[in-house]
Amino acid sequence: MTKSDLLIIGSGPGGYRAAQYAAQHSLSVVIVEAEDAGGTCLNRGCIPTKTLCRNAEIIDTLHEANTFGLEGEGYALNFAAVMERKNQVVNQLRSGVEALMKQPNITMVHGFAKFKDLKTVVVNEEEYTADNIIIATGSDSKCPPVEGLQLPGVINSTQLLSINHLPKRLCIIGAGVIGMEFASVFSSFGTQVTVVEFLKECLPVLDSDIAKRLRQTIGKRGVEFSMQSAVKSITETTDAEGNRQLTVNYEKKGKPLHTDADLVLIATGRKPNTEGLELEMAGVEYSPKGINVDDDFQTTTANIYAIGDVNGRCMLAHAATFQGLHVVNKILGKTDNIKFDIMPSAIFTNPEAASVGPTEDQLKAEGRQYECRKGFYRSNGKALAMNETDGMLKLLVDTADNNRIIGCHAFGAHASDLVQEVSTLINLGATTQQLADTIHIHPTLSEILHDIVC
């Protein structure tokens, strides 16, 4: 039996960052990983997708080559090279995490962990015991109850990230973050993309105005959207030349419709990874939505915590990381001031969208007194210089509290960087006057923010 101060299950951005931080603070840590170090984020989530997003962005810029005075024949896409670059980025970062997990005070164990009791887990028939345990097992793709999911070519995001040829036609079921990012990327690669979504608007996490504008912008780039459409089945059919294809059958306002495609991506959400952990052995309660936790991410068993996607609170890499840091602080008896209700997020379509704080819709529903100030990329010097004039930003301020900044929702080039600035201001309780008094570099996109408070 191996004994440590802290045992962590899962080495995603929740688990490995918590391990690193705990080790820096002199705790002995055992971290268990069933697959590759770095978790979903590094191996099949944030990092590979953002690498592909960068390829897409370059292709989109090349489409505007004439605008930038570039003349010539153009370029052909070498999809194998695109995927190879993605693999290299992932491998480099994974080696980095593996190296971090070799530092003094950390032991990494490869295998699948399951609970024996509230202080012991079993991995490869070996027992590991610790005073405190963090469950950071992440999530996996969730499939809707639709006929035909088992057909070859009906795939999830992990499988799409390892295809070896570019599909001519891709049908994406679900217009959430994952579906929209892949729609944007593959349409830039030249694939004909159709998105079929049950809801009226894409990206329900976003401000509805921003979501609509983003969908329209991506739509203008050639992505076809079928909103308010309920997928009924996926079938195998043949195209005009007699080749096998997949047909997504759906119903829109009572009317049966279909879309033909070579690949169908199921992007209808994620489910927490609780299966096989034998949580009952440790008295840890959970539901299909995730492991039950309190505001310190403590489970129903006092010495066991659950962070990241597995508790279902906020399925973002940085949420997992900061939840992990907070738990380690709690174990160390340290207080921190991490505000989990100020959670910035971004969607890396082209253009990007990003958001922090409540949306206008939420403020209206709560009957709050607020003002919405809007800024547009088209009137910003840097945006014009970049030829990135499509975009807008909404800054929400609390008029009942000295014009304190409470939210920001944006779409356009580098929207995530602009929203990050506002996230910092919200954390510091800043007002519009304090933002107006802050000198901004000229020319930058962040002047959009400054201009709307001056």
Q: Is 6 or 435 the residue whose CB approaches ligand FAD more closely?
A: 6
Which residues are marked as active site? 442
308 binds ligand FAD (CB under 6 A): yes
Distance CA 239, CA 246 (A): 9
Q: Is 9 or 214 the residue whose CB approaches ligand FAD more closely?
A: 9
383 binds ligand FAD (CB under 6 A): no
137 binds ligand FAD (CB under 6 A): yes
423 binds ligand FAD (CB under 6 A): no
350 binds ligand FAD (CB under 6 A): no
Peptide bond into 256 cis (omega under 30): no
12 binds ligand FAD (CB under 6 A): yes
Chain center to CA of 440: 29
317 binds ligand FAD (CB under 6 A): yes
Q: Which of 273, 349, 380, 403 binds ligand FAD (CB under 6 A)?
A: 273
Which amino acid is it at 153? G
What is the per-residue burial (b if ≥16 Cβ within 10 Å, else e) of 426-445? beeebbbebbeeeeeeeebb
Q: What is the DSSP string of 343-392?
A: --EEE-SSS-EEEES--HHHHHHHT--EEEEEEEGGG-HHHHHHT----E
Distance CA 260, CA 194 (A): 9
3-class state of residue 63 by DSSP: helix
Q: How would you classify residue 414: left for phi > 0, otherwise alpha for psi between -120 and 50, otherwise beta?
A: left
418 binds ligand FAD (CB under 6 A): no
Nearest-approach distance from CB 290 to ligand FAD, in angstroms: 10
Encoded one letter per residue, x for contact with ligand FAD by CB under 6 A and - for no contact, window 150-169 reads -------x------------
112 binds ligand FAD (CB under 6 A): yes
Is residue 11 within 8 Å of residue 97, measured between CB atoms?
A: yes
Distance CA 201, CA 330 (A): 40
Q: Which of 6, 7, 13, 322 binds ligand FAD (CB under 6 A)?
A: 13
Q: Which range touches ligand FAD (CB under 6 A), out of 31-39, 280-288, 406-414, 427-435? A: 31-39
205 binds ligand FAD (CB under 6 A): no
Nearest-approach distance from CB 168 to ligand FAD, in angstroms: 22
How many Å is the maximal CA-CA distance in the chain? 68
Which residues contact ligand FAD by CB under 6 A? 9-15, 32-35, 39-41, 45-46, 49-50, 112-113, 136-139, 157, 178, 273, 276-277, 308-310, 315-318, 320, 348
